[in-house]
Structure 1
Amino acid sequence: MAQPQSCELTILMPCLNEAETLEVCIRKALGYLERSGVDGEVLIADNGSTDGSQEIARLAGARVVPVAEKGYGSALIGGIAAARGTYVIMGDADDSYDFSSLDPFVAKLREGYQLVMGNRFRGGIAPGAMPPLHKYLGNPVLSGIGARFFKPGVRDFHCGLRGFDRQAILGLGLRTSGMEFASEMVVEACLAKLRIVEVPTTLSKDGRTRPPHLRSWHDGWRHLRFLLVFSPKWLFFYPGAVLFAVGILANLVLLFGPVEIGSVGFDVSTMIYATAAAVVGYQAVLFAILTKVFAEREGFLPAGPRFRAIADRLTLERGLLIGLALFVLGLAVAVTQVLRWGSVDFGGLDARSAVRIAVPAALGLMLGFQTMMSSMFVGILTIPTRARSNPPAPEAVPDDVAELDLPLTPTGTAP
């Protein structure tokens, strides 16, 4: 019997050796479709199962699409590309999510929301369903960082049960192959300003007897790394700005002499460390700018209006002039000190006085040189090139892609 080419909802489950729980998940999902009257399908994105999961899925009434490239993200990217539904609700096939209660997700999708996240902490977590490390540390910390960096308006950043508008998510060009795919989807949706909402959902203890695929520390670090890399402000700019401000302020204060706070004294040795902090902080700020320029050019991080306004003013020529001014100022101080040294026939100088002048001179030289070199690098990154637009139109995904054992690209086309 020929299957319809499109439907309203695809319930998508990534699968890698889920023979123990796959059938019950499929039956719950099919039962929901029948009971609710939603026109839909159940799709299994199989990632190379060797326990017969594929046949179990077909016999239970699901459609199976094989995805050769390994990884949680790869399986979902392939499944989303092959889905026939206008909307997709994805969830793990380990019987921890309740596929029989999807009405809140469908309702929000019909209202026009493009990403509907489940919240396990609002809906309820069954005893033993989430390890304490995940419940009290991993999820709260990572969700808090994600909320701070990207402001998605959701509190359970890593819930695996979520629904979305298929075309909107395909348009994001998601590409991570591992567990961090869950973070990438939310981050990219935030950056693209998709409409995001959260609904309560439950989490039950999974029905498998084998250990889960998730590796707590390894995958937690991958999630955190992804969040940091996609937020140059928090990775580079804010820490760098603090270090730079502290270093410059300390230098200005100590330039006029030692400072004592209680029984603690600060002098030229503190100036040297403060200079190091200022240089490191300034370099981090420059990294933030360079990262943002490169990310905007490559199209995976949009530039906000504030950054765009600043970038339009800080041209290559202005950057070179600012850097040159800092360099010349440092050089002038250094030459002045050499001339003072010559006035005493290059004899001995008071060490503290000499260092108090040499440190800001060296700081000016370093900051000036960094500014000029970074300005040149920005100039290289912004060299006009032939437009990358109007590429050849990608081939449509074959209707029988479920029968092809080919890896899918992030855009959903087979190589």
Structure 2
Amino acid sequence: MEDDAVRAASSPRSNGGDVVAVTEQTREISPDEVCVLIPTLEEAATIGDVIEGFYEQGYTNVVVIDGDSEDDTREIAREHGAEVLVQSGSGKGQAVREALEYVTVPYVLMVDGDGTYDPADADKMIEPLARGYDHVIGNRFADMDDDAMRALNGFGNRMINRAFGFVHGANYQDILSGYRAFTVDSFRRLSLDSDGFTIETELAVECVKHGIDTTVVPISYRARPDESETNLHPVKDGGTILLALYSLAKTNNPLFYFGSLGVSGIASGALIAMYVLWEWIQYTRSHEVLAVVSAAAIILGVQLLMFGVLSDMLVTLHREQRRRLERIAREERDE
């Protein structure tokens, strides 16, 4: 797996569908330049060990942003030397956006506080940023404990990753991973609206949409300690994530979003038309209202397809213009 990580970090990278050569950088990123950001909610059983783990790796700039836990999460975090913030709203997404307003260093290492991620992987996560990447995703499936994820959760995660690749055209292997490293500048380029746990999904989509240079590295993933309870519900939350993937395609892949709606409209209209025709041929029954509904569904479907094609053209032109402007800006900086 280490060889895979090296190949991923030294090979051409994904930039919104284009292949861009990675510029090697010799400078190393100091742990003092990295903020370890830990969103928490009722993590008293594990937060202390998580903070200590990063301290042992040399990462002492630890910020815990807590969703108003009713247990001792905040007190334990302070006792272990972390800076503790209490988020003004609710949900992981809102917590991350709010915490970034207080970060004064150029790099962020974001990790869950449930003890499932290994602080020893911190250097592995940060290293691609020194190579020129802007966003790093830790792939939990590369080295996962046998009991770290239930079979239903594992199936759901893989299905969501395949759906993401199909809808958004990028293979990030584990878009729901809570172990992320990114530059603060790249984060501020993203348009993030998610307040809840779908923040990881939105981050992945926004990286594709804005051409953020993203790579994936293998990490280890451990079972959640017995005394720590999960806040996720596999079926309900999985459905919410799939819905978010589809909804976010509206601005990232409008041809798929509006095209799927258009095809559904045409198909439903055609089925109704076939039923009306069959009734008229078999029993000489006329269904004027159903015939009107059928025609309306087909016309609406065709219009949505046309709108999807036009929207896709606009998105493509916008991306080309953005890349052109970014290239001009880089050339001016180099001069």
Q: TM-score range by the shorter chain?
A: 0.7 to 0.9
Q: Secondary structure at the match of 1:230?
A: helix
Counterpart amino acid of 2:152? L
- What is the match of residue 236 of structure 1? 258
CA distance in 2, matches of 1:54, 1:93: 12
- Distance 1:222-1:272 versus aligned 2 partners, 3 A rule: same
CA distance in 1, matches of 2:92, 2:313: 26
Runs of 5+ unmatched residues, structure 1: 1-5, 35-39, 259-264, 309-415
Q: What TM-score, normalized to structure 2?
A: 0.72
TM-fit CA distance, 1:278: 6.0
Identity of aligned residues (%): 25
- Distance 1:19-1:242 versus aligned 2 partners, 3 A rule: closer
TM-fit CA distance, 1:50: 2.2
CA distance in 2, matches of 1:70, 1:278: 46
Let me know the Cα RMSD of the aligned residues: 3.6
Residues 1:305 and 2:305 aligned together: no
Deviations 1:106-162 (A, max 9, x none): 1111111111111111x22112211111102x1111111111111233111211111
CA distance in 1, matches of 2:286, 2:143: 56
Q: Contact between 2:38 and 2:63, CA under 8 Å: does it hold in 1?
A: yes
Residues 1:51 and 2:71 aligned together: yes
CA distance in 2, matches of 1:278, 1:145: 32
Residues 1:115 and 2:154 aligned together: no
TM-fit CA distance, 1:215: 1.8
Q: Contact between 1:174 and 1:185, CA under 8 Å: does it hold in 2?
A: yes
Counterpart amino acid of 1:142? I
- What is the match of residue 130 of structure 1? 149
Counterpart amino acid of 1:227? L
- Distance 1:248-1:101 versus aligned 2 partners, 3 A rule: closer
TM-fit CA distance, 1:193: 0.9
Deviations 1:293-323 (A, max 9, x none): 9xx8xxxx99423699xxxxxxxxxxxxxxx
TM-fit CA distance, 1:94: 0.6
CA distance in 2, matches of 1:13, 1:246: 47
CA distance in 2, matches of 1:144, 1:245: 25
Q: How does 1:204-353 map to 2 (within 5 A)?
A: 204-232=222-250, 233-241=255-263, 244=266, 279-287=296-304, 303-305=314-316
Residues 1:190 and 2:208 aligned together: yes
CA distance in 2, matches of 1:74, 1:143: 23
Q: Contact between 2:47 and 2:73, CA under 8 Å: does it hold in 1?
A: yes
Q: How does 1:12-31 map to 2 (within 5 A)?
A: 12-31=37-56
Q: Contact between 2:37 and 2:108, CA under 8 Å: does it hold in 1?
A: yes
TM-fit CA distance, 1:178: 0.6
TM-fit CA distance, 1:43: 1.0
Counterpart amino acid of 1:237? G
- Distance 1:282-1:166 versus aligned 2 partners, 3 A rule: farther
TM-fit CA distance, 1:165: 1.1
Q: Secondary structure at the match of 1:51?
A: coil
Q: Contact between 1:10 and 1:88, CA under 8 Å: does it hold in 2?
A: yes
- Distance 1:278-1:271 versus aligned 2 partners, 3 A rule: same
- Distance 1:248-1:127 versus aligned 2 partners, 3 A rule: closer
CA distance in 2, matches of 1:285, 1:174: 31
TM-fit CA distance, 1:46: 1.1
- Distance 1:285-1:57 versus aligned 2 partners, 3 A rule: farther
Q: Contact between 2:263 and 2:305, CA under 8 Å: does it hold in 1?
A: no
Deviations 1:31-76 (A, max 9, x none): 1126xxxxx6111111112222212112212111221211111122
- Distance 1:147-1:63 versus aligned 2 partners, 3 A rule: same
Counterpart amino acid of 2:218? P
Runs of 5+ unmatched residues, structure 2: 1-30, 320-335
Give aligned pairs, total.
282
